[in-house]
Structure 1
Amino acid sequence: MNTTAPAPTRLLEIATAAAHEAAQYLRALDRDHIAREYKTSSHDIVTEHDRAAEDIIVAALRDMLPSARIVGEEGGERPAEAPQDTAGEAAAEAGDAAQQVSFYVDPIDGTSNFAAGLPLFCISIGVTVGEELVAGVIDAPILGQVFTAADGPAMLNGRVLEPRPTRPARDAMILSGFPGQSIGREAPDFAGPASVELARSVSAVRHYGSAALELAYVAAGWADATGLGHINAWDVAAGFHLVRQAGGSIRTWPGREVAERPDYLQPAYVACTGAERLETFDALMEQLQQLRTSGQGEQLGAGH
């Protein structure tokens, strides 16, 4: 029995093909009349198209690699299916946990933008073998931008994204909604001053409403950093891999979780386009971590 996972380049091909199928579906929609539902609040919405796009992605992944585990924003964890004898290479069975392939799927990252008719949303699929990130694709269907990375350089529409250093703080652009309303509820005395301090420390802060797209733009060198204090693995798995393969750096903070968990399972992060760090952003995350460790705040947890 073959227990070796497919190569990262093959896993990227599979993820990219699945994302492309969902992108075609989303591009064909009339986004002027999209009904929305609420998960936990008016800030956390879902549409029927989130579920439909995830179904499309899952079906494609199952067809190409039925032995893979799939973790989706809408459908949760779907264990590996029994490999089919007729599936050839794609059915390589990952009985060894170190060779288990997992796809972390966000069918529409930036649902509020999507539902409002804005083009700032994307499909994000990160791929792990065991616990190691090995590939990722972020497909922004309306913008025509497909970011990909496996074990080579990160690319945008097939063009290599050249490494670029993080600019000094006075010239830096941050793409982030940090601290955001969730941390505002969790640690209100921290959130207000943190927002002001972050804005004062850099040239500009912009919030696109899609963590995955913001990570892709940091990987591209269009911004110097991004970060959030509450996040899910399906939002960041692909983006983390893109940033690293483009020469960037990532720091994560564990909240109350076990620090040894893989970084894409940690609740807080700051990603920079180069090895150089933005000290104020990192310091604010350290303060948030200290609040969580000390037990202060109302919602101290992983957020994933």
Structure 2
Amino acid sequence: MSLRPGYDDDLRLAHVIADQVDSITMARFKSQDLRVETKPDLTPVTDADKSAEEIVRGQLSRARPRDAVHGEEMGDTGHGPRRWVIDPIDGTKNFVRGVPVWATLIGLLDGDQVVVGLVSAPALGRRWWAAQGNGAWTGKSLAAASQLHVSEVDRLEDASLSYSSLGGWEERGQLDAFLNLTRRTWRTRAYGDFWSHVLVAEGAVDLSAEPELSLHDMAALVPIVTEAGGMFTSIRGVPGPFGGSALVSNGRLHGAALEYLDPLPEA
């Protein structure tokens, strides 16, 4: 693929960083001495999560010293309009159990726009990326990539929907609304985490939804989905990664899905 000027250098840097992180996370994946702790929110964190974020921050401090960084494990550092958003291992529970569906997520915000996103899933041998105005791509490197396009399915009855779990919807009193949506669709599968959303960008899935997510869970995914022709909002229709949840679609199905997940808009 060829890159138009803009954020091409930032995207290349994200690939370089992901290469280094992949070597660390793969070395710790299924390791017998993997150290797992429980965070205050009762989610797991491993020594691999921490090491991966340290690598990303170290590289950014050298290559982009003026940029701010927001990471899942180490919070916020720096100030300014450009902010890198890092999830060192999205899918830590899978990582801990030896399930290969996990990834490092690297996004770049310029103001309130996510302009670069990269998702690297080395245990799957897959990587997805996008930069504003350059389309969305998948492959093993910038030199060996194929462009992504969302599907053209335009009816819920023909749509494939992916999600992470039913428990999150139930905890928030939204299970009935979500189940009503699933009943309208042709097929449902719980691929979960980042994978649900990049499958929408690939056109393999038409809709994905999660009821509660943080900025670091979503930022890198937004340009991948939108540059592939899709839409990324919260389940209340807030564009981008700032609404605390995710509804991702090929665009054609977005309004119909919102009618189920957000039936009573806030005044």
TM-score of the pair, normalised by structure 2: 0.87
- Give the structure 1 partner of residue 94 of structure 2: 113
- Give the structure 2 partner of residue 229 of structure 1: 211
The residue identity in structure 2 corresponding to 1:251 is: T
Distance 1:76 1:67 in 2: 17
Alignment of 1:1-304 (within 5 A): 7-33=6-32, 34-40=34-40, 44-80=43-79, 100-150=81-131, 151-157=133-139, 158-177=145-164, 180-187=166-173, 190-191=174-175, 193-210=176-193, 212-253=194-235, 263-273=240-250, 275-278=251-254, 281-287=257-263, 290=265, 293=266
Distance 2:41 2:216 in 1: 20
Shift of 1:205: 1.6
For the Cα contact (< 8 Å) 1:166–1:272, is it kept in 2?
no
Shift of 1:65: 0.7
TM-aligned CA distance change 1:213 to 1:30, over 3 Å: closer
TM-aligned CA distance change 1:174 to 1:163, over 3 Å: closer
Distance 1:59 1:11 in 2: 15
Distance 2:186 2:221 in 1: 23
Structure 1 or 2: more strand by fraction: 2
Shift of 1:67: 0.9
Structure 1 or 2: more helix by fraction: 1
Shift of 1:166: 3.2
- What's the secondary structure of 1:182's corresponding residue? helix
- Give the structure 2 partner of residue 88 of structure 1: none
- What's the secondary structure of 2:241's corresponding residue? helix
For the Cα contact (< 8 Å) 1:138–1:213, is it kept in 2?
no
- Give the structure 1 partner of residue 142 of structure 2: none
Shift of 1:221: 0.9
What CA deviation, in whole Å up to 9, does each residue of 1:72-116 have, x standing for no partner? Answer: 011111115xxxxxxxxxxxxxxxx5xx21111000000111110
For the Cα contact (< 8 Å) 1:32–1:117, is it kept in 2?
no
- What's the secondary structure of 2:181's corresponding residue? helix
What CA deviation, in whole Å up to 9, does each residue of 1:216-266 have, x standing for no partner? Answer: 1111111111121211111111111101101112233569xxx6xx63111
The residue identity in structure 1 corresponding to 2:147 is: V
- What's the secondary structure of 2:204's corresponding residue? coil
Shift of 1:30: 4.6
- What's the secondary structure of 2:28's corresponding residue? coil
- Give the structure 2 partner of residue 84 of structure 1: none
Q: Please say which structure displays the higher CA radius of gyration.
A: 1
Distance 1:75 1:222 in 2: 34
Shift of 1:195: 4.0
What CA deviation, in whole Å up to 9, does each residue of 1:41-98 have, x standing for no partner? Answer: 65x2211211111111111111211111110011111115xxxxxxxxxxxxxxxx5x
Distance 1:203 1:254 in 2: 23
Shift of 1:168: 2.5
For the Cα contact (< 8 Å) 1:254–1:267, is it kept in 2?
no
The residue identity in structure 2 corresponding to 1:37 is: E
Aligned-residue Cα RMSD (Å) equals 2.3
- What's the secondary structure of 1:49's corresponding residue? helix
Q: Which stretches of structure 1, 4 residues or more, deviate above 4 A after TM superposition?
A: none
- What's the secondary structure of 2:114's corresponding residue? strand
For the Cα contact (< 8 Å) 2:154–2:253, is it kept in 1?
no
For the Cα contact (< 8 Å) 1:35–1:115, is it kept in 2?
no
TM-score of the pair, normalised by structure 1: 0.77
**Paired residues, what number?**
256
Distance 1:56 1:213 in 2: 23
For the Cα contact (< 8 Å) 2:151–2:205, is it kept in 1?
no
Shift of 1:171: 2.4
